[in-house]
Amino acid sequence: MKKNLLTAIRMTIATTILLGIIYPLAVTGLAQTFFRDKANGQLIEANGKIVGSRIIGQAFTGSGYFHSRPSAVNYDASNSNGSQLGPTNQKLIDRVNGDVARLRTENPGTPVPTDMVTTSASGLDPEITPAAAAFQIHRVAIERRMTETEIVRLVSDHTAGRTWGFLGEPRVNVLELNLALDEESRVRSQERP
Amino acid sequence: MTINGWLQILVFLALIFAVTKPLGIFMARVFNREKTFMDPALRPIERVLYRVTAVDENHEMRWTEYAISMLLFSVVSMLVLYLIQRVQGFLPFNPQKFGAVSPAHLAFNTAASFATNTNWQAYAGESTMSYFTQMAGLAYHNFVSAAVGIALAIAFIRGVARRQMDTIGNFWVDMVRAFLWVLLPFCIVGSLLLVSQGVVQNLRPYDHAMLIEPQQVQTTGADGKSVATTVTEQVIAQGPVASQEIIKEWGTNGGGFFNANSAHPFENPTPLSNLIELFCIFAIGSGLTYTLGRMTGSQRHGWSVWAAMAILFLAGITVTYWAEAGGNPLLRGVDQRATATQSGGNMEGKEVRFGIANSALFATATTDASCGAINGWHDSFTPLGGMVPLVNIMLSEIIFGGVGSGMYGMMIYIVLAVFIAGLMVGRTPEYLGKKIEAYDVKMAMLVVLVFPLVILAFAAISSVKDFGVSSIANPGPHGLSEILYAFTSGAGNNGSAFGGLTVNTPWYDITMGVTMLAGRFLMIIPMLAIAGNLARKKYVPPSLGTFPVTTPLFTVLLIGVIVIVGALTFFPALSLGPVLEHLMVNAGKTF
């Protein structure tokens, strides 16, 4: 008993050093050496400032931008969470009904894709479905004074298919798409005297 | 449901099938202390560890000494984790300057949670834990609690395999070999694979991003009035995530670095990272069935157990996938059909990159095993979709199961199955040449009864008392499901949650802490007692009256015992929670 207690104490110390300190620091070293950008969160910089991460969503509400999914935490990336609303909770139904009504005025006649009115699990979902992107093309085209064909091309540039043709779901990265839209608008305004 | 969805599910199962034999052989060699290809690198480390911890690697232990060593190690390492949390403000690797984890009952709850391989999280990682606590406290326990689980499963297998012996191995040696050979090398490779997909691994302070489009946000101020504020920046939480992420799944721990767990893009950024994580959840549990066959000299028995697990897995995923793909009938004017451009279904609390198939698959796998990581919130699943994870845990997570704990949990059901078969043919039941007698069955029943007792007692109190009910987020039958899920998850050492329940209260922190400790150690002790007792017995050669444990009939009987024991125990509670809610959602009722 006493011998095993001593071993337990020594084992805790020795394994904490090996598994709790050496291992994660070694992995950090390797990751920073071989995958520096990915290991640091794929941050996007513009004019020397960080404007976001490629894989963390941001909120967009302006009509010239593609909108991200609703988020239970307003895209606070230091506080990830979902809504935790159950399927029969009246709060969920009210929220969805409100969003559906608002979205239908934007795009009358089309059924609303489900990811446009449901909150994501992380609250930071960087992506929307191609259906949700198609749903917004008309509005963005009018606001940006571009043709729908031009917008469709930009969307498809930022659409990722399934990995190896079958893993996961097709999806559109909202932040990258909106940055590309801004860039396109900037170039056009320079071309026009 | 789509063909592509099923393709992903079957590819996943095929991968698990493929890894079973090589991993099973490897583990058998490791614990029989035979040569493996990793020995040149690992033997020197092992020897140093024994020297500094005063372990005699040739010493053999009776089951009692094995149990005491395991308990001492668990208690000491749990106390250290409690201490680390309470003093993290003075420790290094704390760029966000987090103070002590408080109140004390939260730190107790977390220490119990990680020492028992549960990883129930009453805190939000990114706003509570320093990088040091995450690495040396939480990820550390992910390694050792998993290693302890594997050691125990091996001890049990030895109990079956050995004849007329008093001992079942050396706890320290089994545990050290488990993390050095089985866990650590894979985690180094696996964590880098995850980083290549975009899982972060750094020690930098949280980044501040200037938003492309500043947002007006309505918040409720201290006086209860709604205030509009303009948000211009996004604080992006960082950390040494990948090194923890990989052992979180490989050791079926499940405790997320971030609050959103494997739904967070920094923990699980792509469909491929998702597949890697899913693979890790099942691999060791599946491999152990082969180890069981190899160490007991009956490979076909190992596969018949594997088959029972695979069938129960397929049954679970079919129901969850079907229920989630069907969507929520209460949402009107929403297109929930699966098309080429969207996965449709019930997307509340799910991520677009995973869609319905991968969210349902993850929820099923994480609760088949005692993992508890999530990539979508079970609380927002449809009633039946959310019932499957709950039922999986109620069956004590033996469908591939937690690393080690799944195997020894399954062994308890196997003892019961051969006992029942013995009763049916009127002969003394035998299991692989060992007579199963009154003592063994009593101990097995102790395990089977302690589990629901803890769950149902605490859930019953919580669902009638204010301190329990006031934590409910979703009223109606769903509220009962939330409470039931919490204690089931705790007793099963799973760690996933119906996350709406506010669990960082004195009542839930303390009762959940007790539940997790009971769910781990009150199971292990009778289980080790059976192992010690079996090891002592003589070998009885199979005769005509022996019920063979290598046939499809045995697989069917085993599934039958598992389902009947689970159903008899929990069906009344389930009928008031998810079953009732399912009837109501179809009747259009909301709460």
- Partner residue facing B335 (CB), from A15, A59, A112: A112
Contact between B343 and A42 using a beta-carbon 8 Å cutoff: no
- Partner residue facing B140 (CB), from A16, A78, A92: A16
CA atoms of B448 and B463, how far apart (whole Å):
23
CA atoms of B164 and B154, how far apart (whole Å):
18
Model pLDDT, residue B18:
98
Mean pLDDT of B519-535: 95
* Residue of A2, A6, A19, A76 to mutate, interface with B, max B Cβ within 10 Å: A19
User: Does residue B85 carry a pLDDT above 70?
Assistant: yes
CA atoms of A145 and A189, how far apart (whole Å):
11
| A53–B contact, CB cutoff 8 A | yes
Contact between B349 and A83 using a beta-carbon 8 Å cutoff: yes
DSSP helix/strand/coil, B577: helix
Q: What six digits make up the tokens of B528?
A: 């080790």
Mean pLDDT of B269-288: 97
Closest-CA distance, B475 to chain A, in angstroms, reads: 7
pLDDT in tens, B86-101: 999 999 999 999 999 9
Q: What percent of chain B has pLDDT over 70?
A: 100
Q: How confident is the model at residue B362 (pLDDT cuts 50, 70, 90)?
A: very high
Q: Are residues A91 and A16 in the same domain?
A: no
- In single-letter form, the type of residue at position B116 comes to T
| B373–A contact, CB cutoff 8 A | no
Q: Which residue of B has its CA nearest to A70?
A: B348
Model pLDDT, residue A2:
86
pLDDT in tens, B409-426: 999 999 999 999 998 888
Mean pLDDT of B272-276: 97
- Partner residue facing B196 (CB), from A28, A38, A124: A38
Model pLDDT, residue B222:
67
CA atoms of A54 and A57, how far apart (whole Å):
8
Q: Are residues A1 and A69 in the same domain?
A: no
Q: Say which residues have a Cβ less than 8 Å from residue B353's Cβ, sequence separation at least 6.
A: A125, A127, A168, A169, A171, B269, B270, B271, B274
Q: DSSP class of residue B224?
A: S
Closest-CA distance, A149 to chain B, in angstroms, reads: 18
Q: Are residues A96 and A162 in the same domain?
A: yes
| B60–A contact, CB cutoff 8 A | no
User: Does residue B221 carry a pLDDT above 80?
Assistant: no
Q: How confident is the model at residue A193 (pLDDT cuts 50, 70, 90)?
A: low
Mean pLDDT of B466-484: 94
- Partner residue facing A50 (CB), from B197, B209, B344: B209
* Residue of B61, B347, B362 to mutate, interface with A, max A Cβ within 10 Å: B347
Q: Which residue of B has its CA nearest to A134?
A: B341
Q: Are residues A129 and A170 in the same domain?
A: yes
Contact between A131 and B341 using a beta-carbon 8 Å cutoff: yes
Q: What six digits make up the tokens of B69?
A: 């060593």
DSSP helix/strand/coil, B463: coil
Q: Are residues A97 and A187 in the same domain?
A: yes
Give the pTM. Answer: 0.96
- Partner residue facing A100 (CB), from B195, B244, B334: B334
The alpha helices in B162-218, defined as continuous H runs, are 171-177, 184-197
CA atoms of A62 and A139, how far apart (whole Å):
10
DSSP helix/strand/coil, B92: coil
Between A and B, how many residue pairs show a Cβ–Cβ distance under 8 A? Answer: 401
In sign, the C-alpha dihedral spanning B62, B65, B71, B73 is: negative
CB A87 within 8 Å of CB B381? yes
CA atoms of A144 and A185, how far apart (whole Å):
7
DSSP helix/strand/coil, B336: coil
Mean pLDDT of B149-156: 96
The domain spans of chain B are 3-203+239-586, 207-236
What are the backbone dihedrals phi and psi of residue B254, each rounded to the nearest 5 degrees, phi first? 100, -5
| A26–B contact, CB cutoff 8 A | yes
Contact between A27 and B383 using a beta-carbon 8 Å cutoff: no
ipTM summary value: 0.96
Higher per-residue confidence, B281 vs A1 = B281
Mean pLDDT of B13-21: 98
Q: How confident is the model at residue B141 (pLDDT cuts 50, 70, 90)?
A: very high
CB B203 within 8 Å of CB B95? yes
User: Does residue A104 carry a pLDDT above 70?
Assistant: yes
| Residues of chain A contacting residue B137, judged by C-beta atoms under 8 Å apart | 20
| B196–A contact, CB cutoff 8 A | yes
| Residues of chain B contacting residue A85, judged by C-beta atoms under 8 Å apart | 348-349, 379-380, 473-474, 500
| Residues of chain B contacting residue A27, judged by C-beta atoms under 8 Å apart | 188, 191-192, 201, 240, 242-243
| B347–A contact, CB cutoff 8 A | yes
Contact between B202 and A52 using a beta-carbon 8 Å cutoff: no
- In our burial notation (b when 16+ CB lie closer than 10 A, e otherwise), range A131-153 reads bbbbbbbebbbeebebeeeebee
Q: DSSP class of residue B381?
A: S
- The number of domains in chain A is 2
| Residues of chain A contacting residue B4, judged by C-beta atoms under 8 Å apart | 162, 166
Q: Which domain holds residue A164?
A: 42-191
pLDDT in tens, A130-165: 999 999 999 999 999 999 999 999 999 999 999 999
Q: Are residues A117 and A165 in the same domain?
A: yes
Q: Are residues A116 and A106 in the same domain?
A: yes
CB B242 within 8 Å of CB A27? yes
Closest-CA distance, B457 to chain A, in angstroms, reads: 24
By mean pLDDT, which of A26-30, A32-36, B152-156, B229-233 is the weakest? B229-233
Average pLDDT, chain B: 95
Closest-CA distance, B237 to chain A, in angstroms, reads: 5
Q: Are residues A30 and A106 in the same domain?
A: no
Per-residue DSSP letters for B439-451? HHHHHHHHHHHHH
| B374–A contact, CB cutoff 8 A | yes
Q: Which of residues 130-169 of B touch A (CB under 8 A)?
A: 135-137, 139-140, 143-144
Could you give the C-alpha distances from B34 to B26, B51, B407, in angstroms and in order? 10, 21, 22
Model pLDDT, residue A106:
82
Q: Are residues A86 and A173 in the same domain?
A: yes
Mean pLDDT of B298-310: 96
Model pLDDT, residue B128:
95
| A65–B contact, CB cutoff 8 A | yes
Model pLDDT, residue B511:
96
| B124–A contact, CB cutoff 8 A | yes
Contact between B341 and A130 using a beta-carbon 8 Å cutoff: yes
